[in-house]
């Protein structure tokens, strides 16, 4: 007699041996290894084949990982150099300029209307 | 570089919280200036600053996670909590608008004719474009799940195709809703019916656009090999958000479009 724990009734129920250990997808009489595949054209290394083998571009993540893990103490938002600095400076200029413009606009808006 | 003896992420000093806060100041003050002085300069400046902040802040998070390896399991757990809590706050946001709708529609006042839909309102037929929209979003829920399984199984091409299809379905929904808005026989100014309809569906539409954008960023990242079969939380967050958008639509459809017609 084999037993299975039913998660639904929270009890052990007796089952036949075939369902006692029956993981999803495991079917009997089917070999667990697929038949050996062979190709008309033998497998080539990606480095030997042309760029058409890559689907939508090559993997640049390892290079970027090396770049960003270089040990200079530059903060992450500036670590890519000139383009980061340019964008940061533009953003900061707009921030400071915008904050000042806002204060001026609010000061003007707070003035009473002169009849 | 000093090495840390813990698994948590001590972030580099960053200017983006400041620029984001100033952007919020500029947008809100700009709104007031627009209302009273007819000038949109301040508000537009605030919007530009918001976009710059979002781009650079999230770009930095990608750098910290994918390129610098800071998103260890405990850090990822925190990110998961964060996304769940954010989506929960959005649920409460929509709950308010549903409350407003049911408040007005369950006990329609004499001014409305004592009935819902109010006298003079021709509601949209729920079995025309709104039903198509429901099918589109449900299908997109299937395709985003397909994309997730493709990523987990390392199927690059399928992941890209299913994610692209999800985004296309989202854009199709947006286009259909825009057309419905244009063709609707009532406006936001048409009493409480118009208000509840357009504010609830309008905020939902905005969230569809946000969700589609999030998925589009994930598509770009998937193409650039950022996601691995074990670690792809950015995509999972986008998928959670997308399912949330889908569920909100189902509530909108049943309550406002169907029951409310």
Cis peptide before B117 (omega within 30 of 0): yes
Architecture of domain B1-69: Orthogonal Bundle (1.10)
HEC readout, A16-42:
CHHHHCCCCCCCCCCCCCCCCCCCCCC
Helices of type H across chain A? 17-20, 61-68, 82-109
Judged by CB atoms within 8 Å, which residues 45-74 of A form the interface with B?
Answer: 55-57, 59-61, 64-65, 67-69, 71, 73
Tell me the chain A residues in contact with residue B18 when contact means C-beta distances shorter than 8 Å: 95
d(CA A91, CA A85): 10
pLDDT at B233: 96
Judged by CB atoms within 8 Å, which residues 208-247 of B form the interface with A?
Answer: 223-226
pLDDT digit string, tens, across residues A50-103: 444 467 789 999 999 999 998 878 999 999 999 999 999 999 999 999 999 999
pLDDT at A48 over 90: no
A75 touches chain B (CB under 8 A): yes
Nearest CA distance, A101 vs chain B (angstrom): 8
10-residue averages of pLDDT along chain B (261 residues): 81 95 98 95 97 97 95 96 98 98 96 95 96 97 97 95 97 97 96 97 97 97 95 97 97 96 89
Domain boundaries of chain B, sorted by first residue = 1-69, 71-256
CB nearest to B33's CB, from A61, A90, A105: A105
Q: CATH code for B71-256?
A: 1.20.120.80
Tell me the chain A residues in contact with residue B219 when contact means C-beta distances shorter than 8 Å: none
d(CA B125, CA A67): 57
B223 contacts A57? CB cut-off 8 A = yes
d(CA A29, CA B113): 72
C-alpha separations of B22 from A75, A91, B47, B75 in Å: 21, 11, 11, 28
pTM of the model: 0.83
d(CA B211, CA B207): 6
Q: Tally the C-alpha atoms within 13 A of residue A78's C-alpha that lie toward its C-beta.
A: 13
Are B196 and B97 within 8 A, CB to CB?
A: yes
């Amino acid at each position: 007699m084999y037993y299975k724990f039913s998660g639904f009734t929270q009890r052990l129920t007796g089952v036949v041996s075939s369902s006692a250990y029956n993981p999803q997808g495991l079917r009997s009489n089917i070999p667990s290894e697929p038949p050996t595949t062979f190709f008309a054209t033998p497998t080539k290394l990606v480095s030997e084949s042309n760029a058409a083998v890559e689907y939508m571009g090559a993997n640049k993540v390892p290079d970027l990982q090396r770049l960003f893990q270089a040990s200079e103490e530059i903060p992450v938002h500036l670590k890519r150099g000139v383009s980061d600095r340019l964008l940061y400076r533009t953003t900061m200029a707009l921030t400071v300029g915008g904050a000042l413009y806002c204060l001026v606009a609010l000061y003007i808006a707070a003035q009473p209307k002169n009849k | 570089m000093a090495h840390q003896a813990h698994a948590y992420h001590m972030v580099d000093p960053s200017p983006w919280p400041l620029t984001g806060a100033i952007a919020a100041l500029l947008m809100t003050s700009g709104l007031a200036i627009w209302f009273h002085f007819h000038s949109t300069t301040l508000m537009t400046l605030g919007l530009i600053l918001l976009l710059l902040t979002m781009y650079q802040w999230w770009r930095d998070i990608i750098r910290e996670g994918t390129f610098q390896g800071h998103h260890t399991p405990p850090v990822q757990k925190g990110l998961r909590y964060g996304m769940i809590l954010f989506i929960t706050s959005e649920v409460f946001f929509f709950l308010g608008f549903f409350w407003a709708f049911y408040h007005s529609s369950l006990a329609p006042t004499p001014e409305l004719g004592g009935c819902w839909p109010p006298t003079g309102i021709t509601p949209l037929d729920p079995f025309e474009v709104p039903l198509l929209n429901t099918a589109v979003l449900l299908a997109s829920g299937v395709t985003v799940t397909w994309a997730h399984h493709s990523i987990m199984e390392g199927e690059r091409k399928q992941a890209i195709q299913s994610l692209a299809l999800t985004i296309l379905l989202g854009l199709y929904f947006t286009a259909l809703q825009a057309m419905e808005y244009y063709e609707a026989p009532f406006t936001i100014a048409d009493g409480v019916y118009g208000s509840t309809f357009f504010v609830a569906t309008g905020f939902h539409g905005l969230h569809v656009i946000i969700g589609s954008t999030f998925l589009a960023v994930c598509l770009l990242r998937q193409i650039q090999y950022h996601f691995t079969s074990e670690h792809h939380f950015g995509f999972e967050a986008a998928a959670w958000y997308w399912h949330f958008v889908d569920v909100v639509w189902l509530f909108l459809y049943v309550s406002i479009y169907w029951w409310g017609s």
